[in-house]
Structure 1
Amino acid sequence: MTLIAILAGTLMAGVGSVWLAAMLSFRALARYTQHMLSLAAGALLATAYMHLLPEAFESQVSPQHLFMALLTGLVFFFLLDKAELWHHGHEHHHDDGGHAGHDHAPHHLPPRTGSWAVLTGDSVHCFGDGVLIASAFSADLRLGALTALAVLVHEVPHHMGDLMVLRQSTSTRRLAFIKVSLAGAATAIGGLLGFWLVVQLHDFLPYFLVVAASSFIYVALADLIPQLQIRQSAGRTAAQIAWLLLGIALVTAASHMAHG
């Protein structure tokens, strides 16, 4: 039962986020990307602080050890982000013939350098998401469902940027969609491996949950929210806050419905 739930959750998060991103991108609805960023940030923070961390701290593991794992996870994802930025900057430097260029991509979309880099990075990222989702499902089915939902929401703006890049390097929208869908399918592979790891290392499940929480917290605070910190009108600022609170409310409501 748990394995079936993991496969369903990882496919929903991995491939489902691609489908939703394609709908928003290809139907001229990209103006809603800022709303999706706010919604994703709220959903990630709520999932991490209200579900993943409390579940981990209900174990017999020392809180000091779990906080150390949380700190280690945050530092790890910071260094991983630095390595990716360095790689992209190095590749962009060579593509421009040694001259620094200006990135004309929208400020709310992550920088991309080429179709193969996009697909490789997406596959690795989705694989990691699958491991995290499997860890949550192994602890509790309801927690796993909430984690899969949070991953789906925060991956939509990410895949929108990927599709924009791939549309420039492929002949048709369909081909770009298929390529990103295959990368999203790596989430299911990560879920299978994650399930095997959790079964073999069941005593380390609280640490897996804390690492998953650190990933959500880092993505929300270091990636999503900074993209929202731009000067806007009072109405747009209020909309950002509203969508952020909506993300928190949706996760909270889903949790209450699941427990009910």
Structure 2
Amino acid sequence: MLATTLAGVVSITAAAVFSFALLSKVVERMVSLSVGIMLSTSLLHALPEAFESGAEPHTLFAVLLGGLLVFFLLEKTAILRHSHHHEDDGHGHHHGHDKKEAGKAGWMILVGDGLHNFTDGILIAAAFLADPHLGLVTGLAIIAHEIPQEIGDFIVLLNAGFSRTRAYVYNLICSLMAVAGGVLGYFMLERGMEWIPFVLVFASSGFIYIAVSDLMPQMQRRATLRETIPQVILIAAGVLIVLALTHQAHAH
């Protein structure tokens, strides 16, 4: 419960600070860090944990494939709305830009975020049941990918006519759906521990899909060497953060 609550509150508050006060360049840097954290969490932690559990590898790979396709279809139908749904905003539009379209999307984004956060809570619960350290790293990865997404959502909500306070409060309520998902996931998965490897693989498919289909294409739009070097450094920093947490956990 603490992890899911912190994941929601930290990501929403950080997104609000960046959206309301800081420059767009800071937001773009967060995308690079998110990629490093999400990919290393999936490929160096969650997937190895699942495959070392003794579950049948072919079935786990089938779940990975199915998860990637499910996230693709969910994104296609706008059930899960990632940061690309405002990719043309540039985080620099004047207030009221495309307000008509944003107004239609405002409540839809809140509903979509609520469902998304509920799923995140289940994934955090599964990770903690498998290994408390993996739960910590998974929570960190979710915070990292939520911040860029929530920043874009704040922009859309403000353009839709929401005040800063209302945008923050509604987003915070949606983020706390992760707590409900975490509690449900804990009691469901505790009675069926054999399902944990499959949930971890499904979670990994989501992280990989978001990183590869949403975040990395944003980074590719800035192809100059001056932009590429900080991106590579921050991706490496994200990987090192995860590796450092792993090393510390193994040391204990």
TM over 0.5: yes
Of the three residues 137, 159, 182, the one matched with 2:150 is 159
Q: Is 2:103 the counterpart of 1:119?
A: no
Deviation at 1:208, TM superposition (A): 0.9
Of the three residues 107, 117, 135, the one matched with 1:144 is 135
1:245 corresponding residue in structure 2: 236
1:55 corresponding residue in structure 2: 49
The worse-fitting range, judged by mean Cα deviation, of 150-159 and 242-251 is: 242-251
Shift in alpha-carbon separation, 1:128–1:103, aligned structure 2, 3 A: closer
Deviation at 1:86, TM superposition (A): 11
* C-alpha contact (below 8 Å) 1:34/1:240 kept by paired residues: no
Deviations along 1:15-62, one digit per CA (max 9) or x if unpaired, are 210001111111123321111111101100000001001110111211
1:30-179 to structure 2, matched below 5 A, reads 30-84=24-78, 105-106=89-90, 113-170=104-161, 172-179=163-170
TM-score normalised by length of structure 2: 0.88
Shift in alpha-carbon separation, 1:79–1:60, aligned structure 2, 3 A: same
1:27 corresponding residue in structure 2: 21
Give the percent of matched residue pairs that are identical in Structure 1 and Structure 2: 39
1:224 corresponding residue in structure 2: 215
User: 2:40 & 2:87 partners in 1: Cα distance?
Assistant: 33
User: 1:40 & 1:86 partners in 2: Cα distance?
Assistant: 18
User: 1:158 & 1:226 partners in 2: Cα distance?
Assistant: 14
Stretches of structure 1 that go unaligned for 5 or more consecutive residues are 1-6, 88-101
User: 2:243 & 2:13 partners in 1: Cα distance?
Assistant: 25
User: 2:195 & 2:241 partners in 1: Cα distance?
Assistant: 29
User: 1:117 & 1:86 partners in 2: Cα distance?
Assistant: 10
User: 1:184 & 1:146 partners in 2: Cα distance?
Assistant: 18
Aligned partner letter, 2:195: F
Deviation at 1:202, TM superposition (A): 1.4
Aligned partner letter, 2:145: H
* C-alpha contact (below 8 Å) 1:13/1:148 kept by paired residues: yes
Deviation at 1:169, TM superposition (A): 3.1
The SS at the match of 2:54 is coil
Shift in alpha-carbon separation, 1:171–1:226, aligned structure 2, 3 A: closer
Deviation at 1:120, TM superposition (A): 0.4
Of the three residues 4, 8, 18, the one matched with 1:14 is 8
Alignment coverage as a number of residue pairs: 239
Ranges of 4+ aligned residues in structure 1 off by more than 6 Å: none
CA RMSD of aligned residues (A): 2.3
TM-score normalised by length of structure 1: 0.86
Q: Is 2:187 the counterpart of 1:193?
A: no
User: 2:216 & 2:235 partners in 1: Cα distance?
Assistant: 10
Stretches of structure 2 that go unaligned for 5 or more consecutive residues are 93-100
User: 2:62 & 2:244 partners in 1: Cα distance?
Assistant: 30
Deviation at 1:172, TM superposition (A): 2.7
User: 1:78 & 1:238 partners in 2: Cα distance?
Assistant: 30
Aligned partner letter, 1:105: D
Deviations along 1:152-198, one digit per CA (max 9) or x if unpaired, are 01100100011112222345311211111111111111111111221
User: 1:238 & 1:163 partners in 2: Cα distance?
Assistant: 28
Deviations along 1:49-95, one digit per CA (max 9) or x if unpaired, are 010011101112111111111111111111111111899xxxxxxxx
The SS at the match of 1:114 is helix
* C-alpha contact (below 8 Å) 2:91/2:155 kept by paired residues: no
User: 2:209 & 2:87 partners in 1: Cα distance?
Assistant: 24
